[in-house]
Structure 1
Amino acid sequence: MFKPWLLFSGVALFAVAVPAQAQSQHGDDYAHWIVRARVIRVTPTERTGPILPSFPAAHSAVTNSYAPELDFTYMATRHIGAELILGTTKHDIQGRGALDTLGRAGHTWVLPPTLTLQYHFLPDGHVRPYVGAGVNYTIFYSEKASRGLQDAIGKTGLGLSDSVGYALQAGVDVDVTRRVFVNFDLKYLDIDTKAKLTTGSLVNRERVHLDPLVPGIGIGMRF
């Protein structure tokens, strides 16, 4: 089973070990660290349902969400960097199909820490495009069934399993000054989860493929 602490341990080891090696090979003639703050929109492209065994003709939909995002990039060379992306969003879960009239069925918070390895095409230019690929570990927390759902079927607990998947990324940094720049970024996250609805002794389950597109815009600084 994938352990989230392994991801963060790897980041910590990378941050400690790689800088010393890179500095010895390349000196301090380029920015080793990049920090960006973005506003992102998380747009699920979900495939869901059915909800079994009780609602075979029903499924769910997950709403879009806006949130701030923070990322830290370490440039091991002029062209190669590793970026850790941090942010959390809240999403409503809507009933669809046989549960369409229910409206909001619940909500959840989503925390998908993501680590990507990037290639920067023009590291010394004023416009610097990049692409990246990596892994995300998605944690669902503070899940709660809506009052409308519980009025309809009884007191119900909602749970969503954590997910591990790949991440794809493309973006560009555009200089404002020598250190400060504007950033445009687009990510795709592979996120699959299993929803569990527990009503007394009855348990209903649904497979959910969220797979969101995450466009973002923000500012950054090189150090």
Structure 2
Amino acid sequence: MSMNGARYLRWIAGAGAVFFAFGVQAADMMPLDQAPAAQESVAAQSPWQIRVRALGVITNDKGSINGIPGSDLSYSDTVVPEFDISYFFTENIAAELILGTTFAHIKEDGAVGVPVGKTWLLPPTVTLQYHFTDFGNFKPYVGAGVNYSLFYGESEKPGFHNLDIDNHFGVALQAGFDYMIDQHWGVNLDVKKIFLKTNWSADLDGVGHLTGKAKLDPWLIGAGVTYRF
């Protein structure tokens, strides 16, 4: 662990200790007739939340082949199922992990003008979120985090061989809201922007080994159901 990471952990632990001590003091000062109700309310609010969403993956459609002027790549958009898990550290602060997989058809739209192939993509993304709690059942949030995109199952169109796309980290920004129907169930709308650039390579008959850059920068637009334990 880096020194900065250790420093942040110590800060979080110290802040947690302060809030815990404050909570104990507040509980001691609370009138006895109010304490059971407060304890029941806290116990009923689990820190865990899950969502199931339909997710639209809309790519940026940019890329190039090294050494070929005017080359350009495009990637197909998809709609896939997505699952996420959230943990609330406090009423306002939560971490979210999204899990799902998608695919993209790759085509060269510029100088070569041919389909290249297809790849599958597993993009686990972790964000740290701030949830606003002043709007009743309407609960908007914003977040930022990191994405690690794993490309697998590449397949080539005729003439291409050995298509390979590098796994890569990206930055993720997020905004969305839950509308809670009751204590546990709600509906969700979520938008993420992932800034993702990576390298790719392939062999093309009659040309040889090709390398290039792929700039996907996808929008992830999801809608689904929320369940708070």
Q: TM-score range by the shorter chain?
A: 0.7 to 0.9
Task: Quote the RMSD (CA, aligned, Å).
Answer: 2.6
1:211 aligns with 2:217: yes
| Count of residue pairs the alignment pairs up | 197
Preserved CA contact (<8 Å) 1:181 1:219? yes
Kindly tell me: are residues 119 and 74 of structure 1, through their superposed partners in 2, closer, same or farther at Cα, counting changes over 3 Å?
same
Correspondence 1:1-223 to 2 at 5 A: 25=20, 28-49=43-64, 51-53=65-67, 55-100=68-113, 102=114, 104-122=115-133, 125-147=136-158, 150=159, 156-199=161-204, 202-223=208-229
The answer for unaligned runs of 5 or more in structure 1 is 1-5, 7-13
Deviates more, 1:67-76 or 1:39-48: 39-48
Q: Which has the larger radius of gyration?
A: 2
**Cα distance in structure 2, aligned partners of 1:202 and 1:34:** 50
Normalised by the length of structure 1, the TM-score is 0.80
1:3 corresponds to which residue?
none
**1:107–1:144 CA contact under 8 A, matched in 2:** yes
C-alpha deviation, 1:58, in angstroms: 2.2
**Distance in 1 (alpha carbons) for counterparts of 2:189 and 2:70:** 40
What TM-score comes out, normalization by structure 2 length? 0.78
Instruction: Provide Cα deviations, 1:92-120, integer angstroms capped at 9, x if missing partner.
Output: 011211222x2x32000011100000000
How far apart, in 2, do the equivalents of 1:113 and 1:199 lie? Answer: 31
CA contact (8 A) 2:62 2:72 kept: no
| Stretches of structure 2 lacking an aligned partner (at least 5 in a row) | 2-8, 24-41
User: Following TM superposition, by how much is the alpha carbon of 1:209 offset from its aligned partner in structure 2, in angstroms?
Assistant: 1.2
Contact 1:157 1:199 in 2 (8 A): no
Q: Tell me the distance in 2 between the aligned counterparts of 1:185 and 1:145.
A: 33
Q: Secondary structure at the match of 1:122?
A: coil
Residues 1:94 and 1:199: Cα distance change in structure 2 (over 3 Å):
closer
Cα distance in 2 for partners of 1:128, 1:88 equals 27
SS at match of 2:46: coil
Q: Which amino acid aligns with 2:138?
A: V
* C-alpha distance 180-123 of structure 1, shift in aligned 2 (>3 A): farther
Distance (Å, rounded) in 2 between the aligned partners of 1:138 and 1:123: 35
**SS state at 1:28 partner:** helix
Report percent identity of matched pairs. 36
